[in-house]
Each structure stands twice: as C-alpha cells, then as structure tokens.
Structure 1
Amino acid sequence: MRETDGAGAEPVFLLAPSRSYSTVTLALLSGHPDVYGFPELLIFTADTVGELLGEKAGWARPLRKSGVWRAVADLHEGSQDDDAVARAQAWLADRPEWPTTRLMDHLIGLARPRISLEKSPDTSSADATLARCMAAYPRARFLHLVRHPVTTQRSIHDHWRPAGRFRSEKALVAEAAAFWYLSHQRIIKALAPLPSQQWMRVRAEDLLTEPRVWLPRILAWLELDSNPEIIDRMLLTENWRFAGTGGSGRLLGGDPKFLRAPALRPIPAPGPVVFDPSWGLGDEMCERMTVLARSLGY
C-alpha cells in the first residue's frame, strides 16, 4: 500500500512550462497555513532516486538537484542550513533503489496534514513525465497555469540564450515556440478526461495582477479557508520556506531570479497575441499558437 492511500493524502501539482511565473505562483499558494509548497523536485523525470540524482543524468546539475535536497532537509530537520542539506544528500544517497514515487509519498507523508503542492516544469515537458505523474497520482488535483505566448517567448529567449545550447538564434526561437505550444497541448490533452473538479486553469497575469480576486477562487477549489488575514499572509511571497538560496547561497529549486528577490512584484499586462516579426516564426506556427492562446483566454 502506498503511503498516500487514505483521506486527505493526495497532492496538488501545478502544471506549466518554464517561464510561466510558476515559482512565484507556488510561493503565493504556499503562504496558506494548510499548504506545503515544495521546491522543484523533478520527481517524474526518473524512475528511481539513483537515476534522479545520478551523475549520468546530465541535466541534473547540482543546482537543479538542490530542490529535493532542500525539501528533505526541511521536512526531516526543519532546517536548510549546510549541515542539514548535507545530511539530506546522504539520506538520499542511501536510497538509490527507491522509486521516485516512494520518495514523493514519503515527503507528502511528512508534510501532512498540510496539502502538498509541487511544480516542476519538467513534468509537462514530455509525454512520459506527465504520464508518470498522472499514473502515480490519479486522484491528485492539477492547477494548469498559463502565460501569454509572446511574453513567455521573450522570457524563454532571455533564459536560454546565455546557455549557448543552440546553433543559431533562429533555432532558439523555433525551439522556444514549440516548447510553449507542445507543453500546453500536452497538459490540455492529459486533463481533458478528468472530472472538472479535479483541475483548474488560471492565467498567471490575472493571478499576479489581482491576487485578492484569484487567490480566494483557487482556495475555494482546494476547499481551503480564504479569510482576509490568510490572503494578506499569502501575499508575502518572500516568506515561503524555500525563498532565497539557502545558507550557502547556492541552493535553488525554482526560478533563480525570483528566489534571489522573492517579493511579489507587479507584472505588465499581456497585450495582444502579436509575434515579433524579427523572430522569423513561420505563419503556420504563429497561427497555431494564436489559436491555442485564444482558447486559453488571450
């Protein structure tokens, strides 16, 4: 029997591609006293803990692994100082054969009676990872967070360009467009068969511009209290237990820019769905993205 079997055990997964304001959204929701918001755990990118944290996982650079280190340290010891993180690393290293879902169950159990909330953009970046999530937690609730395609593209370009992963600017732009489009199509397809009460879609721009309007709606869906004092507390995103970069200054588990300055900030209005001609996106891709954006409320 899995540790999550039983009343009140099912987690909530925030599904969104990267650069969707998902870290600040997670920090907002984690301000509720009955929610435990994890950093990015990357749980569904591997079958076992050994695979998740192993050196063969080239994408799993130390900074990316630090989300799961922080979560284990915080839930085991209530601390994320260097010593607690080192002990968390050792604890994980002793369990390479554990299925990653067993690790997730363990963390959910430690977070009870609070509702566990997790977001890793990697979950929706491939069919296999999203399918693994939904198969492991078929009764979970899913929050589909969307962001305007044009502002998302600009953010992705700025985030990916310094890494030098692409042979040309044209290749970067094309990959970014496909990433936004395919991630949301994947999420939409996966959520479609679920009962309507099991998932909710929110525009990030609406939530971050009018949090006092949208937070009560999300909390009502989660069947949680939303009195004004709780909402005030939730707006202090800098108080999220995983805000900042830890005692060492080297821990992440979310968007580095937000973690280093985690106060809630205003964001610009999304504007029309008009793609920059200098990007050189093909007409067919622009049309597909426009149609999808309209279906998402833009």
Structure 2
Amino acid sequence: MTATVPAGGAPHGTEPVVAGHPDPLFILSPPRSFSTITLALLAGHPRIFGFPEMLVFANETVRDLVGEDGTEAERFPPEYRRTRLSGVCRAIAQLHEGEQTAEAVARAEEWLRERPDWPMPRILDHLLDLVSPQVGVEKSPDTVATDDSLDRCLRSYPKARYLHLTRHPVTTQRSMHNQNQQYLTHRKVRVVGAASSWYLSHRRIMRTLGELPQRQWMRVRGEDLVNEPRVWLRRILDWLELESDETVIDRMVHPESWLFANNGPAGGLFGGDHKFFSAPDLRPVPDPGPVTFDPEWDLPEEMCRRMAVLADELGY
C-alpha cells in the first residue's frame, strides 16, 4: 500500500527528531568493515528493520542528495551518484509499495524530488514511522567521514543506539584499495586515502561516542561477529534488550533473507557492499594476523605508528 505523505510541513533539520517510533540503531564504521553483512544479520530479528545505505547525514537536504546543483553532484560522477542513490530509493519503494521493481524505485525517486527542502533526517523519520514498532537500523560509512556528518546524526537522534563496528586496519585498507580503483585511479591516492579513512573515522567515532552514556553504544570487531555470529548476535541483542533465544538466532544467521540482500528484480540496485549483494552468504573470514603494513604501500612511518596504536586500542 502506498503511503501518502504531504510535501509540506515544518522541517526539523538537525534538531532532535520527535519520535513516534522506537529509537533507531546506527552502525558506525569506515567503508569495508563488514557493515553490510552486519546489517543483514541484524535485520533477521523480527523486531528489527534493516535499511540499505540511506546517506542521511552526508547531505543536509533532499536537494543536496538528488539535485543537479547539490553536494552529491559536486562530489561524484553521474554513474556513481545513481549507485549511491539506489539505497534510499529502494527503501522508499519497499515501504511505500511493497516491492523494488524499476517502476517502484523510479516513483520513489520522484517522491524524493518532490520534497527538495526536506532535511534528510525527515526522510529517515518518515520511514522509521512506517516500520514501527520495529527498530530501524541504518549504516552509511559517509556518516563517519566528517565531523559534520557524525554530529548531524547525534543531534538528530540523541537517544539512538550506536554500534561501533571495527575491522583490522590492514585487511580494511586492502579491501578499500580494490574497491576504489574505478574512481581513484592514482594508486598513491588510494593507499593514503584508505589509511586516512580508517584512522580518522575510528578516532572520530571513539571521540563522539565517548561523550555518550555507555548504555547507548557498543563496540564489536567485525571479524568476531562474522566468525561467531551466534555468540555476538546474542550479545548485541542483550544490549538492545531484544529477544535472543535460539529460534531468533537461527533466523538471523541467514543474511540472504534480508529484504535488500540482492540487486533488485531488474538488477542494478545497491545500498551497501556490491560483493555482498552478488553473493549474500555468511562466510567466515581468516585471522587477519598482526598489524603489519605492506612496505609497498609506502605509508609515512608516523601514519603507520598511529594506526598501530589505534589498532591496539581496538583490540587488534
């Protein structure tokens, strides 16, 4: 059934959202940190609705997201913008029409374009209302890419829960190098950018969450969750105060059952890790080993030292 939502109304910007739904959960992590499969695992819980990447806090308004003069248009080429936009559009299509066909996704994009002045948290708030009483879970690496984005997240949802997801710095960066080849063709730019992204994102998350009550956030190593999902899902659910019996866990360890664990009926839809969408299986990962950076990366010694110190703080 299509939800009818007025195009007007008072925007709430970065002011706290007035919740008519449970407070959401945000997964905070840099790119390539097992965040998509983590989201898919959590979405298996009957009380949780997992959204694809919505880019809620990377853009202040819908115009910034979809406008030809918006921040997305300034930052990314057209073909990559389509990929980034597909997450929020398929979420809207699913919740408005119960399907993610090309036609439903196109209508979802048009619905967005009719609301250019809406602050992005208002879009998420609308969708959270539609999935209530389920707890909405969202993850976008862009949320932790800048201080402004992460601040917008906490200002908009100050009572939310935050899952800090980590991954070994060496394997994270190797994965980033492979992912970014299409858009960052200069190898040195990719290598230094990946190191900076891993380090600065985690420092930003730790600094911000350190100011919140302990009950609002939890830190989990992605490798532990993927390799021992039954153990770590139960711990996360206990923290969220949600049911965690064996029947629930049995359901959750099938990430391929997530509503968005595919490329859509017509293909070409994303909203997370492209590799996951092509093969949404739960596969263990090898032990990442010591924090030893590849000499061929030719990273500055001080950068390596700081990353090693941070990795130790994160349990690597």
Conserved 8 A contact 1:69-1:85? yes
CA drift at 1:7: 7.0
Q: Residues of 2 paired with 1:80 and 1:113: CA distance?
A: 22
1:24: which partner in 2?
A: 37
Does structure 1 residue 254 correspond to structure 2 residue 272?
Answer: yes
Tell me the C-alpha RMSD between the 2 structures.
1.5
Conserved 8 A contact 2:62-2:116? yes
Does structure 1 residue 55 correspond to structure 2 residue 68?
Answer: yes
Deviations 1:52-84 (A, max 9, x none): 112232336111100010110111111111221
CA drift at 1:281: 1.2
2:4: which partner in 1?
A: none
Q: Residues of 2 paired with 1:285 and 1:161: CA distance?
A: 22
1:152: which partner in 2?
A: 172
Structure 1 range deviating more: 148-157 or 60-69:
60-69
Does structure 1 residue 39 correspond to structure 2 residue 35?
Answer: no
Q: For 2:305, what is the secondary structure of its paired residue?
A: helix
Letter in 1 for 2:99: S
1:207: which partner in 2?
A: 225
Unaligned runs of 5+ in 2: 1-9
Q: Aligned to 2:91, which of 71, 85, 99?
A: 71
Residue pairs, 1:236-251, within 5 angstroms: 236-251=254-269
Number of residue-to-residue matches in the alignment: 296
Q: For 2:57, what is the secondary structure of its paired residue?
A: helix
Q: Residues of 2 paired with 1:7 and 1:221: CA distance?
A: 22
Q: Residues of 2 paired with 1:54 and 1:8: CA distance?
A: 29
Q: Residues of 2 paired with 1:157 and 1:27: CA distance?
A: 24
Does structure 1 residue 89 correspond to structure 2 residue 109?
Answer: yes
Letter in 1 for 2:169: P
Deviations 1:252-293 (A, max 9, x none): 001111011111111111211111111111211111000000
Q: For 1:75, what is the secondary structure of its paired residue?
A: helix
Q: For 1:61, what is the secondary structure of its paired residue?
A: helix
Q: For 1:161, what is the secondary structure of its paired residue?
A: coil
Unaligned runs of 5+ in 1: none
Residue pairs, 1:76-225, within 5 angstroms: 76-163=96-183, 165-167=184-186, 169-225=187-243
TM-score (structure 2 length as normaliser) = 0.90
Q: Residues of 2 paired with 1:247 and 1:50: CA distance?
A: 27
Q: Aligned to 2:302, which of 284, 287, 296?
A: 284
Structure 1 range deviating more: 253-262 or 52-61:
52-61
Conserved 8 A contact 1:15-1:144? yes
Q: Residues of 2 paired with 1:269 and 1:55: CA distance?
A: 44
Deviations 1:158-192 (A, max 9, x none): 111232x253x223211111110000000001100
Does structure 1 residue 15 correspond to structure 2 residue 35?
Answer: no
Letter in 2 for 1:265: R
Q: Residues of 2 paired with 1:230 and 1:259: CA distance?
A: 23
Q: For 1:187, what is the secondary structure of its paired residue?
A: helix
CA drift at 1:4: 5.0
Q: Residues of 2 paired with 1:118 and 1:39: CA distance?
A: 7
Q: For 2:49, what is the secondary structure of its paired residue?
A: strand
Q: Residues of 2 paired with 1:162 and 1:53: CA distance?
A: 22
Q: Residues of 1 paired with 2:291 and 2:233: CA distance?
A: 26
Q: For 1:117, what is the secondary structure of its paired residue?
A: strand
TM-score (structure 1 length as normaliser) = 0.96
Conserved 8 A contact 1:12-1:141? yes
